[in-house]
Chain A
Amino acid sequence: MATIQMPQSQKKPATVQKEDAMLLQKEMINRNYHELATAHETGRKVSATFVPGNLNELLMCFDFARSLPETNALQNGMRKKSGKMIMDAERDGHSEDVCTYVKADLGMMLQGEVGPTGEKLPRPDVLLLSYTGCFTFMKWFELVRQKYDCETVMLHVPYQGDGHISPNMREYVVKQLKEKVIPTLERVSGVKFDIDRLRQYMRESTKAEEDLVAVLHSAKNRPSPIDGYFGGVYYIGPIFTAFRGAPEATEYYRVLRAEIEERVRAKKGPVTPEGELEDEKYRLVVEGPPNWTHFRDFWKMFYEEGAVVVASTYSKVGGVYDFGFRHDPDHPLESLAEYCLGCYTNLNFPQRIDMICRYLDEYQADGLLINSIKSCNSFSAGQLLMLREVEKRTGKPAAFIESDLVDPRYFSAANIKNRLESYFQMIKQKRAAAGAAVH
């Protein structure tokens, strides 16, 4: 999902912003892939699970090396490897209509399970099917199970259809944790569950969550010191994946927060692959995941025009922390349930729209941009209503572009650029008209 390496600057900016946090993250990711590659040699068991509703603290309690297939797919997308994998999977009988994360993952298996860093990815010993906010997850792990025949444990996280978490929903998830998930993980790993260990990891999580929220909120400043979408995917990397609850993640967020707070003090704009953005012209809220195969080109279309994403919904897929939720060491299983139930794609449409309207207001954004992803019906189905509704409620302009996660065939640069330019100019013109009306 979001553990990607910061692209290298093409032209070095005059003063290179050395971001310690970035280096820390890079180390963490490489180490994790290495741990995965060597897990079986070193006698460790391997788990695989999804980003939304991932139970990292719990998996750590059983000493699993932790793999996240979405992350593998996106890493392969950024390294331009996903196109072939997807076509291989399609040749193997998978429909062109379905999610390309799944096909990239299955295609990678067909190619001999070599991971994004070139090291071999091990077969998971357990698939923790946290079925949270995305129907495809369920079929994805059934498909993997069909191939690997490995142990699979389902954690069904009910959808917030009525816009709230009922006691019945919470209880259902807790019961599954107690009676299904934990016993299975104990059996597969051979490690006895220790709830105090879980509490300890959760204390780490809470600290990291606090710092992450501070970083995300920093975009309320003018200029915003961060890009909450293109930069945001780096910031959420550790906490959405194999590191939440680990002390190195806590350290990462401490360093990151300090760096960002320094940028706020210095009134600096966000760092882009081509250096610091100096002139913030447009402030946007973005809904929907990014495209990974052309991530840099896509980003460039924004920073070239002086557009900064001040808030994004995608940076909430692995947990919505900015409205107060924190993992609670005093109620570990209940808070894991709440965490899963509260992930962005598990929210209903009115909740998602409320959240976006709130962002537009609180971050003083100029408008909403929806990047509609072909693969991801959970995000995409209904986004056109979202667009109309947000426009209606906020009076701010919204625009719509389309791409895909990791299928390079679905990225039309000319098309997207055309729409983005039109959108930016529309904002500018409206602003001018509003200004004229005031005088």
Chain B
Amino acid sequence: MKLTDIVARCEHLFEDLDFNAVKEWKAAQPGRMAIGYMPIYVPREIIHAAGMLPVGIYGGGDQIEVIQGDAYYQSYICRIPRSTVELGLTGRLDCLDGMLFPSICDVIRNLSGMWQLMFKDKYVHYVDVPQNYDDSIGGEFYAHEMQQVREDLAKLRGKPITDDELRAAIAVYNDNRAAIAELYAYRAQAPWQAPTSEVYLVLRAGLVLPPEAHTQLVRDYLAAVKAEQRPKKDNARVVLTGAFCEQPPLSLIKSIEMAGCYVVDDDFVLVSRWLREPVPTDGDPLTALSKAFLHHSVQSSPKYDERREDKGKFLLHQVKTRGAEGVIFAAPSFCDPALLERPMLQEVLAKHKVPYTAFKYAENTGQMAPIREQAGTFADSIKLWSAA
């Protein structure tokens, strides 16, 4: 497949707020079901094991006019719940048979209950994850939580979900994670070849495609992009962090790149990279998923850091392993987890002499000039700093 075609397809999937890809997938075989989920992380393996399509709902972007959604939220609340409610109330999510709301913050948590009231005929569930990382405590609690989801979905489809189905799903997602890890490694190595504005779109496609198809897409993109020769620029290498829930508009990602920054790691669409190691496909599958969460998941502000010295470890790891020269804190306005975490991470970076800059956005931010300005200045200062 040609690179331009792949990117065009991803862009089309990204822009389609009517979720036609989901509708087509469902229509291909009668009785198919789709389950939506919000950021930051849900064990999609269980949905897949049930033969259902997991669909990532990451807000409405900058192309949706929000009327109903705004009616439910005060001005000091971020935008993602507004546009998500708008999507729901305008019938665009009717193709979903259920919605999962993960533990990420109070706003999304409360949205789970609002959804129960607004969409009474749909399956709605809040997925709690442990903030205690002992196998016998948090591990067991989480395995039980997942068992609950497993039973709920089994009821929905009318037959139990077997361990083998779960193991098979784990293998499918292991493969997907491996492909994405490869893509991320390649981008860090040659960011001019695989710009983030494209990588991001490829990643987003994974929210609406079946994982097998998405894995193939990622590999196709990687193959196609490797075959290209794209000009290399003298850009600063940065890690972008804080954008794990409400996503910045694509134009913002482009603006950062145009301003002279190569994004060599990020926390966009973290669900697809949450687990950092392959999940074992033998033994009890829920225990395997639980252990993977406890011991091999990324650090992100919705998760508790047990020890003070753990703070910022993952971010530093990203900076070091990706050869980044600085960090951009890009957080959605009114995002409690990202904004409360930020001063702690900044302190850690300062201690390690990693330069950083910070700004806020909304998924429909319309003015790019200040962001271009800031990212450009940051890139210039990094270059001056490294030249000195």
B140 and A172: CB pair below 8 A? yes
- CB-based contact A350/B113 at 8 Å: yes
Question: Is the beta-carbon distance between B141 and A382 smaller than 8 angstroms?
Answer: no
Enumerate chain A residues within 8 angstroms of B113, measured Cβ to Cβ. 161, 348-352, 382
Cβ–Cβ < 8 Å partners of B73 in chain A: 381, 384
CB of B295 within 8 A of chain A? no
Cβ of A380 < 8 Å from any Cβ of B? yes
B182 on the A face (CB < 8 A): no
Given contact pairs A136-B336, A139-B301, A176-B137, A381 touches B106 in the complex (Cβ within 8 A): yes
> How distant is B287 from chain A, measured CB to nearest CB, in Å?
15
Question: Across the two chains, which residue of chain A brings its CB closest to B147?
Answer: A168
Give which listed residue, A97, A162, A382, contacts B126 with CB less than 8 A.
A162
Q: A352 to B117, alpha carbons, bound, how many Å?
A: 12
**In the assembled complex, B343 has its CB within 8 A of some CB on chain A:** yes
- The prevalent SS among residues of B at the interface is helix
A102 at the interface (CB under 8 A from B): yes
The 0/1 profile, CB within 8 Å of A marked 1, for residues 61-73 of chain B is 0000000000111
Chain A neighbourhood of B111, CB < 8 A: 381-382
The smallest beta-carbon distance between A80 and chain B, in angstroms, is 23
**B306 close to chain A: CB less than 8 A:** yes
Chain B CB within 8 A of A191 CB: no
- Asked if A138 and B131 make an inter-chain contact with CB atoms under 8 angstroms apart, the answer reads yes
Closest to B85 in A: A385
Residues of B within 8 A of A135 (CB): 105-106, 109, 302, 336-337
A389 beta carbon closer than 8 Å to chain B: yes
Given A179-B137, A377-B105, A384-B71, check contact A142 B304 (CB 8 Å).
yes
Q: If the complex has contacts A94-B343, A136-B336, A162-B125, are A131 and B131 also in contact, measured as CB distance less than 8 A?
A: yes
| In contact, B336 and A377 (Cβ under 8 angstroms) | yes
Closest approach, in angstroms, between the C-beta of A141 and any C-beta of chain B? 9
A residues near B333, Cβ cutoff 8 Å: 97
Q: Do A180 and B308 touch (CB < 8 A)?
A: no
Interface presence of B8 (CB below 8 A) = no
Q: Which residues of B contact A99 (CB under 8 A)?
A: 336, 340
Cβ-defined contact, A385 with B72, below 8 A:
yes
Kindly list chain A residues whose C-beta atoms are within 8 Å of the C-beta of B213: none
Q: Which of A151-159, A320-328, A331-339 contacts B (4 or more CB under 8 A)?
A: A151-159
Q: Is A300 an interface residue (CB 8 A)?
A: no
| Given A138-B304, A159-B103, A168-B141, CB of A382 within 8 Å of CB of B72 | yes
Asked if B308 contacts A139 (CB within 8 A), the reply is: no
Of B27-35, B74-82, B270-278, the one contacting chain A is: B74-82
Report whether B106 and A146 are in contact in the complex, using a CB–CB cutoff of 8 Å: no
B122 to chain A, nearest CB (A): 14
Residues of chain B within 8 A (CB-CB) of A138 are: 131, 304
The 8 A CB mask of B163-187 against A (1 = contact, 0 = none) is 0000000000000000000000000
Residue A29, interface by CB 8 Å: no
B339 adjacent to chain A (CB < 8 Å): yes
Is there contact, CB below 8 Å, between B308 and A145? yes
> Cβ of A380 and Cβ of B74 under 8 Å apart?
yes
A-B contact count (CB 8 A): 166
Assuming the A-B contacts A349-B117, A377-B110, A378-B110, are A168 and B144 also in contact, with contact meaning beta carbons closer than 8 angstroms in the complex? yes
Answer yes or no: B134 CB below 8 A from chain A CBs: yes
List the B side residues contacting A161 at CB < 8 Å: 101, 109, 112-113, 125-128
Chain B positions within 8 Å of A305 at CB level: none
Q: Encode contact with B along A378-421: 1 for CB under 8 Å, 0 otherwise.
A: 10111111000100000000000010000000000000000000
Per a CB cutoff under 8 Å, which of A97, A179, A383 touches B334?
A97
CB atoms of B336 and A381 under 8 A apart = no
Contact A168 B344 (CB under 8 A): no
The answer on a CB contact under 8 Å between A142 and B106 is no
Complex formed: what's the CA distance from A169 to B126 in Å?
A: 13
**B342 and A156 form a contact (CB under 8 A):** no
Contact B131–A97 (Cβ < 8 Å): no
Kindly name the residue among A139, A140, A385 whose own CB sees the greatest number of chain B CB atoms within 10 A: A139
Chain A residue numbers with a CB within 8 Å of B81 are 381
| Proximity bits, B117-145, A CB within 8 Å = 1, else 0 | 11000000111101110101110110011
Closest to A410 in B: B76
Most buried by B among A168, A382, A384: A382
When C-beta atoms are compared, the residue in chain A nearest to B126 turns out to be A161
Q: Which residues of B contact A374 (CB under 8 A)?
A: 74, 76
Q: Which residues of B contact A145 (CB under 8 A)?
A: 308
Min Cβ gap A297→B in Å is: 22
Interface pair B74/A92, CB less than 8 Å apart:
no
When distances are taken between beta carbons in the complex, the residues of chain A under 8 Å from B322 are none
Is the pair B134, A179 in contact by a Cβ cutoff of 8 Å? yes
Cα-based distance from A384 to B101 in the complex (angstroms): 20
User: Closest Cβ of chain A: how far from B11's Cβ, in Å?
Assistant: 31
Most chain B CB inside 10 Å of its own CB: which residue of A138, A179, A372, A377: A377
Q: Is B311's CB within 8 Å of the partner chain A?
A: yes
Contacts of A382 in B (CB 8 A): 72, 110-111, 113-114
C-alpha gap A352/B335 in the complex (Å):
24
Closest A-chain residue to B101, C-beta based?
Answer: A161
Does B305 count as interface, using CB distance less than 8 angstroms?
Answer: yes
Contacting pair A142 B110 (CB below 8 A): no
Asked if A195 is an interface residue, CB under 8 A from chain B, the answer is: no
Contacts of B125 in A (CB 8 A): 161-162
In whole Å, how far is B66's beta carbon from the nearest beta carbon of chain A? 14
Contact with B along A341-378 (1 / 0, CB 8 A): 00000001111110000000000000000001010011
Name which of A171, A175, A381 has the most chain B CB atoms within 10 A of its CB: A381
**Known contacts A138-B131, A146-B347, A169-B141; can you find 6 more A-B pairs with CB under 8 A?**
A97-B334, A135-B109, A159-B126, A166-B144, A348-B113, A352-B113
List 8 A-B pairs, minimum CB-CB distance, nearest first.
Answer: A349-B113, A161-B126, A139-B340, A172-B141, A156-B131, A168-B144, A95-B339, A377-B106
Q: Which residues of B contact A (CB under 8 A)?
A: 71-74, 76-77, 81, 101, 103, 105-107, 109-114, 116-118, 125-128, 130-132, 134, 136-138, 140-141, 144-145, 148, 301-302, 304-306, 308, 311, 331, 333-337, 339-344, 346-347, 360
A-B contact pairs, 18 of them (CB 8 A): A92-B343, A99-B340, A146-B308, A158-B128, A161-B113, A161-B125, A161-B128, A168-B144, A168-B145, A168-B148, A179-B137, A348-B116, A349-B116, A377-B77, A377-B105, A382-B110, A389-B117, A402-B74
